[in-house]
Amino acid sequence: MSQQESRDAYWKANLRVMAICLVIWFVVSFGFGILLADVLDNIQIFGYPLGFWFAQQGSIYTFLVLIFFYAWRMNQLDREHDVHED
Amino acid sequence: MDLQLLTYIVVGATFALYIGIAIWSRAGNTGDFYVAGKGVHPVANGMATAADWMSAASFISMAGLIAFLGYDGSVYLMGWTGGYVLLALLLAPYLRKYGKFTVPSFIADRYYSKSARIVAVICLIFISFTYVAGQMRGVGIVFSRFLEVDIVTGLLVGMGIVFVYAVLGGMKGITYTQVAQYCVLICAYTVPAVFISFQLTGNVLPQLGLGSQTVGEQVYLLDKLNQVIMDLGFGAYTDGSKAMIDVLAITLALMVGTAGLPHVIVRFFTVPKVSDARKSAGWALLFIALLYTTAPAVGAMARLNLTETIWPEGASAQALAYDERPQWFRTWEQTGLLKFEDKNNDGRVQYYNDGNAAFQRTAEARGWAGNELTVDRDIMVLANPEIARLPNWVIALVAAGGIAAALSTAAGLLLVISSAVSHDLLKSVFVPNMSDKAELLAGRIAAAFAICVAGYLGYNPPGFVAQVVAFAFGLAAASLFPVIIMGIFSTRINREGAIAGMLTGLIFTFGYILYFKGIFITPLAENVPENWLFGISPEGIGVVGMLLNFAVAFAISRVTAAPPQHIQEFIQDIRVPRGAGGAHAH
């Protein structure tokens, strides 16, 4: 595989991981936290209505997991496609 | 020991610490000054980013806003954290690979244009100055309340401290000072929250306490809060009252604005590697999340404590007698941020929602003649430990934390202003053959000048400090963010498209906010939902500006020549991590 092809494959793989993360990002914050909040509020987890929990707590935890997952997965991809540093 | 002396000691100790760090980490060259010699560990960088990002607004105002907005306050919580996902995925690694010092440099190189650089510098300076004015004001408020000096003295002390470590230390000094400031501010925020959560729910973690039952009762805290405030005619705490489209727009504008703020982006230039830039965004969000997941608990618990102080036996019994008001009530009354007006002349503090027509009859039957207590939202976090009767050292710590939050953000902003002036305007446009040493001096002079302007704005806030928060985010979302994104992910967007896009987004957003908020001029229309475009408030309009920016840039780029070959190579190069050296100037 030429260097250009390898780089294109890397970029495609990167875009795929990114798209998955962004879909989750959107669904959890805008979906669960806002659009579906009223529906989810009918479910109660301890003292939290679920929609309210997603809006004020759950979305933030999800963001954190997403960033660390992306960083970890990209490090793998960097190596697989031989574009990592040092 | 009395509160004032204790506050002096705690705040003085933190100042000594910041100055000590500044002397230890002085900047020797422009690399140190702009990007801390690119050798900052990702965890330290994450802490510094967190302190840089969490301003007086996050520390002092946010929980207070949430306390009074309830569910609607979620726009700030999600908006100001969700942006880090965009930063980590879409911007940070590529900008780090690019490796030069400033955001306008990236825009200038990617769009091969000096005009693009100048437009970017204008956006950057405007965003940063509006921000920094609010920070200095925050310093002034904390000083005047806790150290009981007047606002001018407070401002001068704050300016002096920032001057020492921002001007001497540059990015290197700022970064290590911010690490210390993060530790101060996070302790100051969480310690009272832990105390209060334990008092109310028996749970030491505020994040869990908010979902727990209150001590001695079989009722959940949030259910109780809903009940207590609904008895006073307010809407339920866990339900919103804003229109959904507006909630969506504001949240997205704050997220995108976060990712487009120059003083946040530049933090990712300071780490050694591309992989560190990705990780560092995660660390930054982790440190931010410690405060942001605590804030909703602080807000809800403060609202409950406040309401129960005013209505000790509940809304159907007697309200607090004004003569028996607690000490914190008296001290905050002196600042004018807490006001009591005895409308029905019964000597008691009737606090309720007099804007609720359906509740009007109940209120009249009880002999209430309108809400008698006005609480400035900004005092909730600062007054919280006093309301909950926590020991004096906790209150002193909160004062130090508020100052740390304001100073750390002010310093980061001043640095991007100074690098925009010395690097992007002087070095790159007007005096290309400037020496490194002269540039460093110019940077320091620009920072000193910026501090004076910030101090002046802090003393004479143009009356819109609260409004400009939305303004700065909207502008960042509508101007810088789209062109950076397109610069990385599209090979087709060219100079003409980018400049037209930036100007469209900027002018549209600026115009819309001006139209409703009337900064410098009288508003042209009343700021009410009926008048808004698509029902989107000026706070959220940056989203529409951003979409226009994208649309115009695509359209113009389609009909003009594609970017030249060397730009295509430039884009291919920033997309892969390998070959990222240290951040460099040329």
Task: Give me the residue from B81, B282, B576 closest to A60, CB to CB.
Answer: B81
Please give the average per-residue pLDDT across B232-257, as a whole number. 85
**CA angle centred on B464, ends B461 and B465, rounded to 5°:** 65
Lookup result for tokens 């507006």: B246
Residue B586 has pLDDT above 50, yes or no: no
pLDDT of residue B201: 85
B580 vs B207: which has the higher pLDDT: B207
ipTM score of complex: 0.94
Give yes or no for a contact between B26 and B580, defined as CB atoms under 8 angstroms apart. Answer: no
- By the CB < 8 Å criterion, does B221 face chain A? yes
CB contact under 8 A, B211 and A53: yes
| Residue B333, pLDDT above cutoff 60 | yes
**At residue B90, what is the residue type?**
L
pLDDT band at A22 (very low <50, low <70, confident <90, very high): very high
Whole-number pLDDT of residue B220: 85
* Closest by Cα among B367, B350, B347 to B310: B350
The least confident of B157-161, B416-420, B523-527 is B523-527
Contact across the interface for B282 and A71, Cβ inside 8 Å: yes
Q: Tell me if B211 and A59 make a contact (CB, 8 A cut-off).
A: no
B14 has a pLDDT exceeding 80: yes
A67 vs B580: CB contact, 8 Å cut-off? Answer: no
- The pLDDT, as a whole number, for residue B523 is 67
| Strand A48-49 to B373-375 pairing | unpaired
CB neighbours of residue B100 within 10 Å: 19
Report the sign of the C-alpha dihedral through residues A51, A52, A55, A58, in that order: negative
**B337 near A CB under 8 A:** no
Q: Which of the residue ranges B338-352, B477-491, B501-515 would you say has the lowest mean pLDDT?
A: B338-352
Give the least confident one: B20-29, B474-483, B566-575. Answer: B20-29
pLDDT of residue A16: 93
A41 pLDDT exceeds 70? yes
pLDDT in tens, B518-535: 655 566 667 777 777 777
In whole angstroms, give the CA distance from residue B143 to residue B309: 26
The shortest CB-CB distance from A60 to any of B211, B220, B293 is to B293
Is some CB atom of chain B closer than 8 A to the CB atom of A83? yes
Buried b (16+ CB within 10 A) or exposed e, A50-70: bbbbbbbbbbbebbbebbbeb
- Residue B238: which of A10, A33, A41 has the nearest Cβ? A41
Q: Give the pLDDT band (50/70/90) at residue B373.
A: confident
DSSP assignment of B481-498 equals HHHHHHHHH-SS--HHHH
pLDDT digits (tens, 9 = 90+) for B265-314: 888 877 878 888 888 889 999 999 999 999 999 888 888 888 888 888 77
Question: Cα-atom radius of gyration of chain A, to the nearest Å?
Answer: 18
Q: Is A32 on the interface with B (CB under 8 A)?
A: no
Do B275 and A78 count as a contact with CB atoms less than 8 A apart?
yes
Q: Is B551 on the interface with A (CB under 8 A)?
A: no
Q: Do B77 and A59 touch (CB under 8 A)?
A: yes
Per residue in B162-203, pLDDT (tens digit) is: 777 777 767 777 888 888 889 998 998 999 999 888 888 888
Percent of residues, chain B, with pLDDT higher than 70:
91
Query: Of residues B85 and B148, which shows the higher confidence score?
Result: B85
pLDDT score at A65: 95
pLDDT at position B584 = 47
B231, two tokens: 């008895």
- Look at residue B585 and tell me whether its pLDDT is greater than 50: no
The mean per-residue pLDDT over the stretch B54-64 comes to: 82
Nearest-Cα distance to chain B for A41, in Å, is 9
**Does B77 lie at the interface with A, CB-CB under 8 angstroms?**
yes
Residue B549 has pLDDT above 90, yes or no: yes
For the entire predicted model, the pTM comes to 0.88
- pLDDT value at position A84? 81
Say whether pLDDT at A68 is over 70.
yes
